[in-house]
């Protein structure tokens, strides 16, 4: 049996392709109703103007597992990761 295909898979690392971009918390958006979460609007540096803002639930965890929230003006990093199967070589 020919295991060349398996050998190629072993040579390919299982790590995800990733890029991390600097960003800034532009504003904190209060919930519209009490059962909705507060949101943080984050501007990603280097993104096109129409697409640079993302909104996420403003709940994070610190290294001790405590819930924390972002502050307006906070400098953050936005990381985008993809499984190796979701990427292709760039031409």
Tens digits of residue pLDDT in 8-52? 445 555 799 999 999 999 999 999 999 999 999 999 999 999 999
pLDDT at 14: 73
| % the chain with pLDDT above 70 | 86
Distance CA(61)–CA(66), nearest Å, equals 5
Q: Are 58 and 36 in contact (CB under 8 A)?
A: no
- Binning pLDDT at 50, 70 and 90, where does residue 78 land? very high
Confidence of residue 58 (pLDDT cuts 50, 70, 90): very high
Q: What CA–CA distances, in Å, run from 67 to 34, 38, 46, 54, 61?
A: 18, 13, 29, 21, 5
Backbone angles phi, psi at 54, to 5 degrees: -125, 155
The pLDDT of residue 7 is 46
pLDDT at 24: 98
Instruction: Look at residues 40, 1, 36, 11 and name the one whose alpha carbon lies nearest to residue 23.
Output: 40
């Amino acid at each position: 049996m020919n295991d060349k295909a398996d050998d190629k898979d072993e040579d390919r690392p299982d790590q995800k392709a990733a890029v991390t971009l600097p960003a800034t918390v532009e504003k904190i958006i209060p919930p519209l109703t009490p059962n909705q979460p507060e949101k943080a609007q984050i501007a990603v540096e280097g993104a096109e103007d129409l697409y640079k803002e993302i909104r996420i639930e403003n709940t994070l965890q610190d290294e001790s597992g405590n819930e924390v929230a972002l502050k307006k003006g906070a400098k953050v990093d936005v990381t985008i990761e993809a499984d190796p199967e979701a990427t292709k070589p760039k031409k």
